[in-house]
Amino acid sequence: MSRTKSPGMTASSVQPDTRKNQKRQAVLRRLGLLAVVCALSFLTAHLVMLDAQRLPFEDMRLKTDLGGMVIAALFPVLVLVGFAGRRHWWGLILGLVACGSAILAGILPF
Amino acid sequence: MRETLRVHMGWLHSWVGFLAGLLLACIFASGTLAVFDTEITQWMQPEVPLTQGTSLTPAALQAAAQAVQAEEEKGLSAFLTLPSQRDPVLRVLHYDGYEFVGTALDSTTGAVFPARETAGGQFFYNFHFSLRGGNQPGVQIVTFLGLCLLVAIGSGLVIHIKALWPDLILFRPFGARPRAWVDAHLIMGVLFLPFIAFMGYTGTAIHARALLPAESFFPSHTATPHKKEKTAPKGRVLQAGPLPPPLAPLIAQARDVLRSPDGNLILFTPDEVRIFKSDAFGPFLTRDHVAFSRKDGHSLRSVTQSPPAVATMQLVRGLHYARYAPLPLRWLYFLSGLAATTLAASGLVVFLMKRRRSSGEQFFFRIAEALTMTTVVGFPTAILGIFWVNRCLPAVFSGRAMMEINLFFLVWGLCAAHALLVSLTRHAASGWRQQLGVLAGAGCGLPLLDLVSRSHAWAQGASVFMTADALAFLTGLIALCALLKLREPAA
Amino acid sequence: MTFLLVLALWSAAFWCHECLQPRTRSSFPRQAGAVSVNQIVRALAPCLALTLCLFQDPALGIFYWLGLGSAAGLSTSVLMAVLKQKRGLARMSKTPL
């Protein structure tokens, strides 16, 4: 839809369209942000679960249980913080840092 | 509108809450019923008397051991649950892929009670954590919804944080309809927040491995595949073991070591008999047990201590499963579960109320309303349906457990079809009234059906039957009140 | 008996909490000195309830305390709403949506 005002249109007919457009864009922006944040959080959670396998326990089930406890706490926090921090994208940056930390924890030898 | 944090979080809370809430309300409701799963099974098997004590005779144990061996010969991995205060019956059970089912034995004579086959309370327990969809995708979906619940709780807290303390118990049921629903949503969320957050967290943590398995999603080509040992599927055995030795002395010895006077669980492998501590003694869901040789009954080992990491998980599981809870605490769990169900259901209604006018009741709104109707009214109707089916089907009907479950889903499916039909033809208001009418009838009629069916003597275990009937009647009454309220013009 | 007492203590705490809110002042007028009494009850009643619960059952007391607290909060809020309705004030609240 064209954003330019046509000369014959009154202000009252344009305003609702503009508002609708703005609303749609805001929703799309939020959806995009949520999708990116969820993908990052999911990847971080997956890496945390893989890192949990390096815990010094013999029982595999115990390791996944402990990994699960961390994930259940971490995932919602990451999603909320990532979605809340829009200004200067610090939410996404935080998500990236968390994801990077999880990768590093998997790579670096302990 | 300014994009404040509150607005931003409000959007997240609304959409995540609504989409996840459609199933979360059902998960909460079935979890609430699962708190009393044993009692529901007792209601659904009225032929099993509940007046026996917890004492066991060697004859009964011998009969149980023979029953276990007979099951093993059929390839089923059977186990025993010994009588407890809560369930004073000796049971021989096996896992059928969804529920633990089997026969009930007289703890004195060892005779099998001619009890009707039923899904019982186990069905609600299974539905609660897997939607009866197995590990994949059932448990995965529920775990994902658990994560959504935690996100919704967090965003809800951010929205409501300023009013949290002053509006702690603010409830205006006599105000305008939207106000009353928002207040109901808030009061349930705030007052029961510790319970809901804790159960959401522990439930998600327990099954997180189903959603995020410990294998990499990006398999390396160099890695050698794991060699899988040949193991029987869950609930099955590859070969039957010998007849176990007399169990009475083993149980006495194990109870002494485990300090667990009743309700133990006995598992059988081809070489061992393992007697476990009852889950009723403490919030730790321990797997403490004493293992005996299946050939001659000599003690092999005892496991009675767990390292701190294991104990932590045992506590997390124990608190979520609530098998340790004495009756008053069980009722508090039940009440809190009802509050969580109300929270989810009221959230769905608020979501619709907020958008009814602005959406112009377009196609997606009508679908959303149909789904809400299916969850809020259809699901309780299907639950009551399973109770009705239990009393209406003949007691000796073969495959009646599966029939109960199929009819549960049939009733729920019919409710969904009806909701879709009325919503898409713009008659949602009358659809709500019709479904509420059916729910009211099913609830209020259940005690009558129980009375008329004459399936049990009211003197035996009367509290179980009377409580279940009373709760069904109460559900019917609430539905009736809602129906009458819906007939009034909106305030 | 102990649990009933705990329920009563929690209810008293919630009642006092609601009475301390400015919106309730008009429907339940306060007497002089009532504010401090309400504040004291609001602070002490839950502590006393916790003590009673732990005394009754040291292992599970905390769960009883939390559960009974939620139940008491719910019942007090319904009672408060009914009382306010009787005084004809409930409809004064503005609609949020």
Structural domain includes residue B392: no
Q: Which of B343-357, C11-25, C29-43, C79-93 has the highest mean pLDDT?
A: B343-357
For testing contact with chain B, the best of C14, C74, C79, C84 (most B CBs within 10 A)? C74
- Examine the pLDDT at B230 and tell me if it is beyond 70: no
Distance (Å) of CA B398 to CA B41, B78, B403, B404: 18, 20, 9, 11
For testing contact with chain B, the best of A65, A77, A87, A90 (most B CBs within 10 A)? A65
Of B207 and B51, which is predicted with more confidence? B207
> pLDDT value at position C92?
53
> pLDDT value at position A13?
53
Per-residue pLDDT reduced to its tens digit, B413-448? 999 999 999 999 989 999 999 999 999 999 999 999
Of B177 and B413, which is predicted with more confidence? B413
Q: Is B199 on the interface with A (CB under 8 A)?
A: no
The answer to whether the CB atoms of B8 and A84 lie below 8 A apart is yes
> pLDDT value at position C97?
45
Look up residue B236 and give its two tokens. Answer: 């099955």
> pLDDT value at position B325?
92
> Scanning every residue of chain B, which has its alpha carbon at the shortest distance from the alpha carbon of A65?
B206
- Nearest of B157, B128, B173 to residue B30 by alpha carbon: B128
Name subunits touching B (3+ CB pairs < 8 A): A, C
Domain ranges across chain A: 33-107
The helix/strand/coil state of B291 is strand
Domain ranges across chain C: 2-92
- Cβ atoms within 10 A of the Cβ of B104, count? 22
Residues B463, B464, B465, B468: what is their CA dihedral angle, to the nearest 10 degrees? 110
CA distance B110 to B253: 21
Task: Judge if the upstream peptide bond of residue C46 is cis by omega within 30 degrees of 0.
Answer: no
The answer to whether the CB atoms of A72 and B212 lie below 8 A apart is no
Structural domain includes residue B37: yes
> pLDDT value at position A14?
54
Residue B104: what are its φ and ψ, rounded to 5°?
A: -110, 135
Q: Is B280 on the interface with C (CB under 8 A)?
A: no
- Examine the pLDDT at B160 and tell me if it is beyond 70: yes
Of A56 and B202, which is predicted with more confidence? B202
CA distance B297 to C93: 73
**Segment holding B199, helix H or strand E:** helix B193-211
The helix/strand/coil state of B245 is coil
Q: Is B11 on the interface with A (CB under 8 A)?
A: yes
DSSP string, B401-465: HHHHHHHHHHHHHHHHHHHHHHHHTT-HHHHHHHHHHHHHHHHHHHHHHHHHHT-S-TTTTHHHH
Look up residue C71 and give its two tokens. Answer: 């139940």
Per-residue pLDDT reduced to its tens digit, C41-93? 999 999 999 999 999 999 899 999 999 999 999 999 999 999 888 887 555 55
Contact B445, B477 (CB under 8 A): no
Of A10 and C82, which is predicted with more confidence? C82
Contact B385, B407 (CB under 8 A): yes
When CB atoms are compared, the residue of B9, B201, B312 closest to A72 is: B201
Look up residue B403 and give its two tokens. Answer: 């029939």
The helix/strand/coil state of B65 is helix
Q: How many domains does chain B have?
A: 1
DSSP string, A29-40: HHHHHHHHHHHH
What type of residue is B239? Q
Q: What percent of chain B has pLDDT over 90?
A: 57
Contact A93, A81 (CB under 8 A): no
Q: Give the strand pairing for B272-276 and B289-293.
A: antiparallel
> pLDDT value at position A8?
45
* Tally of CA atoms within 13 A in the half-sphere of B362 that contains its CB: 5
The answer to whether the CB atoms of B332 and C3 lie below 8 A apart is no
What type of residue is B480? L
Region B84-97: mean pLDDT is 89
Q: Where are the beta strands (DSSP E) in B247-351?
A: 265-268, 272-276, 289-293, 299-303
Per-residue pLDDT reduced to its tens digit, B287-311? 889 999 988 888 898 888 888 889 9
Least confident of A14-23, B141-150, B173-182, B342-351: A14-23
The answer to whether the CB atoms of B168 and C64 lie below 8 A apart is no
> pLDDT value at position B224?
52
- Examine the pLDDT at B283 and tell me if it is beyond 80: yes
Q: Is B315 on the interface with A (CB under 8 A)?
A: no
- Assembly ipTM: 0.89
CA distance C27 to C35: 15
Per-residue pLDDT reduced to its tens digit, B104-157? 998 888 889 888 989 889 999 999 999 998 888 999 999 999 999 999 999 999
Task: Provide the pLDDT confidence category of residue A6 given band limits of 50, 70 and 90.
Answer: very low
Structural domain includes residue B31: yes
**C and A touching (3 or more beta-carbon pairs closer than 8 Å):** no
Residue B240: what are its φ and ψ, rounded to 5°?
A: -80, 145
CA distance B244 to B268: 9
Task: For residue B298, give its domain range.
Answer: 1-212+234-306+318-359
Q: Give the strand pairing for B100-105 and B90-95.
A: antiparallel
> pLDDT value at position B74?
87
Question: What is residue B293's DSSP assignment?
Answer: E
Structural domain includes residue B271: yes
The answer to whether the CB atoms of B205 and A49 lie below 8 A apart is no
